Structures are given as structure tokens and as C-alpha cells.
Amino acid sequence: MMYYSAIIVLFLNVFYVMAHKILVLSPITAPSHTNFFKPIVSALAERGHSVTYWNGLPPDPWMVSNQTTNLRVLYSPKLKEINAHHKTIGFQHRDSPFGLLLGIPNRMATYCTAIYQDPVFHQLMNSTERYDLIILEAVFNECVLPLVRKLDVPFIYMMGLAPSPWLLDAAGSSLNLDHLPHPGSNYADEMNFWQRTFNTLSGLVMSYFHHWFVMPVVDKYASEMLEIDDQEPVFDTENRYLSLVIVNTHFSINYQMSTPSAVIEAGGLHCVPPKPLPQELETFVNGDAGFIIVSFGSILKGAEIPDDVRRIFLSTFARLPQRVVWKWEETMGVQDEMIPSNVKLLPWLPQQDLLGHPKVRLFITHGGLFSNQEAVYHGVPLIALPVFADQPINAQKAQDDGYAIRLDWNNLSENVLYDAIQLVLSNPRYAQKMKEISTIMRDQTEHPLDRAIYWIEYVIRHRGAPHLRTASRKLSLYQRCLVDVMLFVFLGCILFTWATQSLIRALYRKIQKEKALINDDKKKN
């Protein structure tokens, strides 16, 4: 009996040593981005870590029902309106990628104001609880960096998208601008000289814009609203405490990038096998011709799509033998007689369960990264109509890889959409190529979720793991991109050329002068 008691005590002591306190922060988020965090939070809690999770959307019912001593979910009702709609981003931004960029400072002011007025933020700021690590959503959550400094612990950025130029910069990584298109450029990875020039210059401008115009907004509102003594710039806080960046990418879906050890790719960690559909939905989709899924993500609402474009979709779907399940949040303004009998509008879709259904034939999407990953995981070909941010790049990559057709909203017509649907459904190469890419995505040494958990615990075990970050993080961006070296070499070449030409001219004049003297001497003689 004493032997077994000793074993139990030893196990509990080891478990206690291994368990850590982790604070996960995503006050500004989107429903789709939350899908990148929930598996992480659940897995950390299941491994015995004490996890506090502050999310700006209503908590998942599973998390609420499973709150225990090692899982605490914090919720801010006032942030729900911001995160559920993101009204400043919409269908109108489909042709203005840099308009989105220029609007970030104003959005950041809105986000900082909401965060700094929220009781949960002050609860955390005033708490005496100590944490071993902070995990912070990397999209629009720089306003939380004063809390990182207050708690004085390392933090990890997690991003549900491909990393932005300024996030790569924060990690001390190369921006890969020679082959990695950023959302503002909308190119493929094989760029000609002018495309590389634009991609490089605009990528550098985006990074410096974030440094010079976005981060100072956070400093301004933190100084005015928090009244913290000795408040350091949030850029310095980020540089000092950032240990790791976990991004939602994988080379099977995204363009490849060379990154340092401090950047971990865990794309598709949220992808799971399908569950049975609700009986009513199962009955609808279980037709002989199969069914098509239509969804444009969690930020773009169906009601935002112009009436004439909506009519194009409905008239096209009416010509199809397939059933169509369309995520449409509001049916207001859509008359029942306008909806074909083979179309079902739902405010929410069990998307992965539908994508994993044996009768699914096609996914019409906005090209969001989460949707693309789920489609590839379940092996469903795409028609992509990208709107903003990274969606055009995702759609272009999917088309280049042969499992999708990319369409343009501005050139959309009933015939264009119908022909694209028929091409994907009738040409087996789309399904075959999707099967190949899906096999590549699934062929990994470990599940992406396990990879992310390993590196999170690694950072804790090694007290922030400063050895992961390259020395280049101490360099300015222009130094890391070798702009100063190339400028030095360029000026050196110009100086050398000038000096050589000057020397040649001087020698030539000297030679000519000597020849003239010799000729004069000959004439005198």
C-alpha cells in the first residue's frame, strides 16, 4: 500500500511541476479566428495547465460547461458587437487593399478604447495572479501589450492567417518579399521584376506604416486612458517579451516562406473529421446529384452582397440539379418566391460536417484561409470569389495549384458562374488535384495541434526560449533586408567607377601632354 501511495504522490508532484498558468488573450477577434484558439485552449486545459481565456466573442458552450479549476473563460459583452460584425470591414473593400491598411489606425483607436474601458482588462491589470506565459492573438490586439509588460512574462503571438510583414518583422524574420506576396500586392509567388519591385517596396511601406502610424496609436491611448507611470512604448514591449509566433499556414496551401525557429507553422490545427448532420439538413442534402456549399465567411455578411449579385447566384442555382446550402445570416429582403426549391438559406453552417459529407460536390467560398484549409482537409474543390485581405492570394494559390477556379466579383454574371460550376463538376482534374493536395496536407509527422502545444510548452520550459530568436531582431528592418549593404555596395560601385574614370582621364591627359611636349621638341630640333 505504501508503495502505491508513493507512486501516486510522485505522479502528483510531477504533474504539478509540469502544469503551468497560461493567459490566452483575444479580445479583438472574429468567429473564424476563434477556431484557431479554441483547440489550443482546450488542449492546454486537458493537459492539466491552468488556462485563463479572454475572448471578445460569447464563449463556446463546451468551454462554459467544462470550466474547472484549470479552465477559466472570461467574456466581455461590450466587445461582442465589435467582433461579431466588424462593420468597418466589408464588401466595399474588395477593390481597395491599401484602403484597409490606411484605415487600421482609426480601427486601432476604436479597439484600444473598447479594451481599456472593459472591466475584464482592468481585472487582469489589477490582479496579483502570476502567469508563466501569455498567448496573444496577433491581429489588432497590440492594445493588450501594456498588460504583457505589467505581468512581466514572455508571450506568444498566434495568428489565424498567414503572417503579415510587420509580424515577420517582429519575429526577426526575413519578409521573403522576393517570392511571398503580401495582401496588398495580390501576386503569385513567381513574380517578374516589376512585381517584385512593387511587392518589396509596398511590403516595406506596410511594415513601417505599422511601426510609425499604428503602434503610436496604442501608445497614445494607453498613456491617456491607463495612466501608467513609466509607460514604455508598446513596440519595445513587443520586442522584449515576444518569444514565438505561431501562424495558421502550411506549405500545401500557402506560398512557402523561409522563417527562423521562432516562427512555427501550424496550419489546419482546427480541422477535424465530420460529425453526422442534423436530420433536417441531412434529408435536404442527401439528393442524387449531391450538393454545393456556399459561404463567404464570418466577417462578410450575406446581407452586404448587392441585390443584383444575389440574383445572379439564385438564378444560377435554379438551373442546377444539385442542392445548395448557403450561409445567409439575414433572410430579410429575400422573398420566399425568389429562393429556388433546391436552395436552403441558413444563418450558420456546420461547415466541416458538410465538407466531410459523401454527397458534397463543390464549395463556393470567399477564399478565407480557414475555409480553404477545411476544403483541402476534406478534399472538396473550390470556386473562390475573394473580397479583401489575404483572400485574393489564397484564391490565386488554390487556382494555381489546380483545385479551384477564381472569379472576380466585378465581372460576375450568371453565365460566368454557371460555366465555372459546370467546369469544376464535370472536369475530374479538379477533384483529382484536390485529392493530391489533401494527401500532402495530411502527411505530417505530427498533428498541427500537437506541434503548437509542444512549442507553447517548450517556451515555458525554457523561460521564454530567447535562444529561438535570431540576432537580426536587433537590426532595423532596412538592415535586415540588407538595404544599407546594397546601398553601400551601390555607392561604392559608383565611387569606384568615378575614381577609375577620373584616373583614366588624368592618365590620358598626362599622356597627351607628354606627347605634345615630345612633338614640340621635335619641331624645335
Q: How many CB atoms lie within 10 A of CB 120?
A: 18
Least confident of 81-90, 279-288, 357-366, 448-457: 81-90
Q: Considering the domain 10-269+447-480 in this protein, what is its CATH number?
A: 3.40.50.2000
Q: Provide mean pLDDT across the span 355-373.
A: 94
Res 225 pLDDT > 60: yes
Closest CA to 134 of 123, 122, 120, 124: 124
Res 65 pLDDT > 70: no
Q: Provide mean pLDDT across the span 336-350.
A: 85
Assess contact for 325 and 346: CB atoms under 8 A.
yes
What angle, 0 to 180 degrees and rounded to 10, lies between the N-to-C axes of helices 369-378 and 428-442?
Answer: 100
**Residues listed for the chain:** 525
Res 234 pLDDT > 50: yes
| pLDDT the model gives residue 19 | 85
Closest CA to 96 of 520, 502, 389, 373: 389
In DSSP terms, which residues pair with 405 in a beta bridge?
383
Say if residue 212 is exposed, middle or buried (CB neighbours under 10 Å; 0-12, 13-18, 19+): exposed
Res 138 pLDDT > 70: yes
Q: Give the residue, 521 or 351, on which the prediction is more confident.
A: 351
| pLDDT the model gives residue 471 | 83
| pLDDT the model gives residue 180 | 87
Res 337 pLDDT > 60: no
Res 111 pLDDT > 70: yes
Assess contact for 72 and 51: CB atoms under 8 A.
yes
Q: Give the residue, 185 or 457, on which the prediction is more confident.
A: 457
Least confident of 99-113, 320-334, 393-407, 500-514: 320-334
| pLDDT the model gives residue 333 | 54
Share of the chain above pLDDT 70, in %: 89
Q: Give the residue, 158 or 60, on which the prediction is more confident.
A: 158
The segment with the largest mean pLDDT, out of 133-147, 160-174, 295-309, is: 133-147
Q: Give the residue, 326 or 516, on which the prediction is more confident.
A: 326
Instruction: Write out pLDDT tens, residues 119-137.
Output: 999 999 999 999 999 999 9
Share of the chain above pLDDT 90, in %: 60
Dist CA 237 CA 145 (whole Å): 7
| pLDDT the model gives residue 53 | 95
| pLDDT the model gives residue 11 | 44
Say if residue 384 is exposed, middle or buried (CB neighbours under 10 Å; 0-12, 13-18, 19+): buried
* Band (352; pLDDT cuts 50, 70, 90): very high
Res 173 pLDDT > 90: no
Fold of 279-442: Rossmann fold (3.40.50)
Q: Provide mean pLDDT across the span 476-488.
A: 84
Q: Provide mean pLDDT across the span 58-72.
A: 74
Dist CA 218 CA 147 (whole Å): 12
Instruction: Write out pLDDT tens, residues 412-443.
Output: 999 999 999 999 999 999 999 999 999 999 99
* Band (86; pLDDT cuts 50, 70, 90): low
Q: Provide mean pLDDT across the span 352-380.
A: 95
How does the average pLDDT of the chain come out, rounded? Answer: 87
Q: How many CB atoms lie within 10 A of CB 210?
A: 22
Assess contact for 262 and 163: CB atoms under 8 A.
no
Res 502 pLDDT > 80: yes
Closest CA to 250 of 123, 127, 161: 161
Res 40 pLDDT > 80: yes
Q: Give the residue, 463 or 1, on which the prediction is more confident.
A: 463
| pLDDT the model gives residue 376 | 96
Dihedral sign from CA coordinates of 312, 314, 319, 322:
positive
Q: What is the model's pTM?
A: 0.88
Q: How many CB atoms lie within 10 A of CB 268?
A: 26
Q: Provide mean pLDDT across the span 459-487.
A: 86
| pLDDT the model gives residue 2 | 47
Instruction: Write out pLDDT tens, residues 483-493.
Output: 888 899 999 99
Least confident of 10-24, 195-209, 402-416, 417-431: 10-24
Dist CA 197 CA 182 (whole Å): 13
Assess contact for 269 and 39: CB atoms under 8 A.
yes
